Amino acid sequence: SSNDTLTSNDRLEIQKEVNQLKDEINRISRSTEFNTKKLLDGTQSALISSNSGAINGMVVGEVDLASGDYDVQIDLLAGGVSQMQRSQIFTLNDGSGSLANGSTQLQSIAQFYDANGVFVLDTPQDLTLSGNGNNTSLTIDGQMSLDNLSAALQNSLVSKSGLDISNTRVATINTIQSQLAGVGGYIEIVSGSLGDAGEISISSDQKVLDALGMSINREAVDSRVQLVLTDNFGNVRQIKTETDRAAGLLNGIDIQFASQSAQIAGTQGLEKGLLISSGANANFTISAGESQVIITVGQGYWTMEGLSRTINAQIDAANAGAGIPGLQASIVEGEVRLSYERPASASATVANTITIAAQSTGALTIGFLEGTFSGFVDAQKDQNMTAWGFSRYLAFTAVGDAEINVGDGINVTTVVLSLTSAANTADMALFSTFQANFNDIADTDSVAVRVDQVGGAMVFTSLRVGTEHLDNQAANTSMVSVNFVPAGGVTIPVDLYMTQRLGISEGTVKGSGDANFKLHVVNSMPQYQIGADQGQTMKLAIAEMSSKALGVDRVDLTTAAGSSKAIGILNKAVDMVSAERSKLGSYQNRLEYAINNLRNTHSNLSSSESRIRDADIAMEMIEFTRNQIISQSGTAMLAQANTIPQGVLQLLR
């Protein structure tokens, strides 16, 4: 399935077989038994129950702990992010090239016609959605609009009968949503679950998939969380994990949790900018055509776009505002590029070259080398002076401060961001500074939300990984709300800045599951008497062998990437099965040794008993003979005694 010689429908058929195999693994785990006792469902090691439906305990090894109750708390350490997919940009099939909108029917969209002009939805087609260990299907046809398709996708993703991924948002993005002219006409899917649990794939006829052109614009990343377990005696154990499975919190038991933090995530905006610490190391002269311009870069943190902007502004202002025709700066692969194309009006003697001269000795921080270059030249910025941040630039007449209000459903905190519209001013806000500032004030204002960087996006994540239950108090729900307002009463389009620059939309999102819960564990390891005396016993544990315990319950082969990832998952599952078989083999060997030892003991005892029995018979015979001799001697003595008076009587006669 990881080979792209297969279509998505081919992979879907493979997935069907995989699903059947997972069902068979589960059947074997549930039904393998001896004398009505289940052997492979984990109950021959421990019985695990919880007061939370979002928690599942799985026996994966020998449970060497006493039965009892355990309190578990899940805390967020760093926020992950959910997956985001986008379709290709849809245009009308009338030759105008105009963008489609939510009301446009699929039969009116150019991308749904193949190279021969044949409509790929002449007959309705099925879309199969996979994710969260589930599959669901929906049917699309040519008369559906983009809004209808978005609604059908949303229903299939969030419904209990579908993939059951709550908080998933599917929307048709038009220019009114993007707030950018010419940007729109596509479908956007933002998964409601962070990390692997929120990964979604779509399968259908290859022509339909090509027409949709769905691609992953943001990879899913799991949150980093800490689980703290407290037993009845106050002992504490904690582990950190970046998955939805806690291993090692309890010996022999893994805890899988479906709890999720609420999150509002951006889609873009964070980038590697450049610190200009000294103007002398950033100022240079550009000569092109028959003119030259001295470029002066102010100190501070700059985005690469900001550096390009200030260079172009100074080029445009050169020569008393006449500028240098044909010369411009742009950003190519994260570096500033200067390009020059000699205008047609220029003299033939004018070379199509760019000459750069530093204003001081030493390397330029921005990374241009001194010399003459033909056509264009790329900078190579000083990597030691780079840092992650985001642009504060907003092309608006009156620019002031922006307030970002973030709440957790109970309290609200505000962080102020200073915006600028000046092209020649350092425009980058350092993310590490913004993050530390926000997290500090959120902590001070008792707002259970933190901000993190995930890839190139800023994400606001609730510290509550699910609902937090309190003694004799109402539970606190995992929640994040974000809204933007101009500070100081200045009317500026702050929402436009946040959506365009950072891809963050206002709104409120709730999490799912539970942040704290109780586990009740009963040690049910079977016992075998292998000795003659009290306490001479042996216990053994048999781990759970279900698809969930083996980690293969979410194996998804409907995409090439998922298939490649599945190889590693299956390798781990094979290792678990091999380890369990090895352990059972060692139990068997030990029992065979115990049986052999008992056989030897039995043989020795039988031999000893036989010898003892033989020795008793000999003694009895000796005693019998002695008694016989005594009896016979007594009789003889009595007879002899009787003869004496008889002899006397005979003499008297």
Distance CA 84, CA 216 (A): 6
**Site of tokens 């060997």:** 589
**Site of tokens 């990597």:** 383
When pLDDT is averaged across residues 60-78 and rounded to a whole number, the result is: 89
Q: How is 595-647 classified by DSSP, letter by letter?
A: HHHHHHHHHHHHHHHHHHHHHHHHHHHHHHHHHHHHHHHHHHHHHHHHHHHHH
When pLDDT is averaged across residues 235-241 and rounded to a whole number, the result is: 93
Q: E strands along 60-185, which residues?
A: 68-78, 82-86, 125-131, 134-140, 169-173
Flag whether pLDDT at 435 surpasses 60.
yes
137 contacts 220 by C-beta, under 8 angstroms:
no
pLDDT tens-digit profile of 560-613?
A: 888 999 999 999 999 999 999 998 999 899 999 988 988 898 899 888 888 777
Q: Residue 489: its pLDDT value, please?
A: 59
| 385 Cβ neighbours under 8 A, 6+ residues apart | 274, 275, 276, 277, 365
Flag whether pLDDT at 181 surpasses 70.
no
Q: Residue 279: its pLDDT value, please?
A: 61
Apex CA 16: angle with CA 11 and CA 21, to 5°?
120
The phi, psi pair for 372, rounded to 5°, reads -115, 135
pLDDT tens-digit profile of 463-516?
A: 999 999 998 888 999 999 999 888 765 666 787 788 888 888 889 999 999 999
Q: Residue 222: its pLDDT value, please?
A: 92
Q: Residue 398: its pLDDT value, please?
A: 62
* Collapsed DSSP state (helix, strand, coil) of residue 211: helix
Flag whether pLDDT at 399 surpasses 90.
no
Q: Residue 84: its pLDDT value, please?
A: 92
373/396: higher pLDDT: 373
Flag whether pLDDT at 304 surpasses 90.
yes
Provide the b/e sequence for 409-439 (b: ≥16 CB within 10 Å): beeebbbebebbbebbebbbbbbeebbeebb
- What single-letter DSSP state applies at residue 198? G
* Integer angstrom CA distances of residue 470 from 158, 237, 474, 514: 29, 21, 7, 12
When pLDDT is averaged across residues 194-203 and rounded to a whole number, the result is: 91
When pLDDT is averaged across residues 235-255 and rounded to a whole number, the result is: 91
641/38: higher pLDDT: 38
Percent of the chain with pLDDT over 90: 52
Q: Residue 423: its pLDDT value, please?
A: 87
pLDDT tens-digit profile of 206-227?
A: 999 999 999 998 899 999 999 9
Q: Residue 259: its pLDDT value, please?
A: 93
Find the DSSP H helices in 32-115: none
Percent of the chain with pLDDT over 70: 96
Q: 72: burial class by Cβ within 10 Å (0-12, 13-18, 19+)?
A: buried
| pLDDT level of residue 134 (50, 70, 90 thresholds) | confident
Pick from 22-26, 66-70, 294-298, 644-648 the range whose average pLDDT is largest: 22-26
Beta bridge partners of 269: none
Distance CA 148, CA 102 (A): 8
236 contacts 32 by C-beta, under 8 angstroms:
no
Q: Residue 176: its pLDDT value, please?
A: 57
Q: 639: burial class by Cβ within 10 Å (0-12, 13-18, 19+)?
A: exposed
| pLDDT level of residue 183 (50, 70, 90 thresholds) | low
pLDDT tens-digit profile of 355-370?
A: 999 887 777 888 898 8
1 contacts 8 by C-beta, under 8 angstroms:
no
Element (H, E) at 49: strand 46-50
Q: Which two tokens stand for residue 634?
A: 């007594």
Q: Residue 175: its pLDDT value, please?
A: 67
Distance CA 464, CA 468 (A): 7
Flag whether pLDDT at 346 surpasses 60.
yes
pLDDT tens-digit profile of 258-303?
A: 999 999 999 888 999 999 987 667 888 998 887 889 888 888 999 9
pTM: 0.83
Q: Which two tokens stand for residue 86?
A: 């986008």
Q: Which two tokens stand for residue 72?
A: 């578990």
| pLDDT level of residue 242 (50, 70, 90 thresholds) | very high
Mean pLDDT of the chain: 88
- What single-letter DSSP state applies at residue 489? G
Distance CA 645, CA 653 (A): 12
Alpha carbon of residue 200 to chain centroid: 13
Q: Residue 280: its pLDDT value, please?
A: 64
Q: Residue 594: its pLDDT value, please?
A: 87
pLDDT tens-digit profile of 475-485?
A: 999 999 999 88
Q: Residue 154: its pLDDT value, please?
A: 95
Q: Residue 493: its pLDDT value, please?
A: 77
Find the DSSP H helices in 189-303: 206-212
Adjacency order of strands within the sheet including 327-332:
327-332, 335-340, 376-378
| 16 Cβ neighbours under 8 A, 6+ residues apart | none
Distance CA 42, CA 46 (A): 6
| pLDDT level of residue 644 (50, 70, 90 thresholds) | confident
| 421 Cβ neighbours under 8 A, 6+ residues apart | 393, 394, 395, 396, 397, 399
* Integer angstrom CA distances of residue 424 from 94, 317, 323, 351: 44, 12, 16, 29
Q: Which amino acid is at 407?
A: G
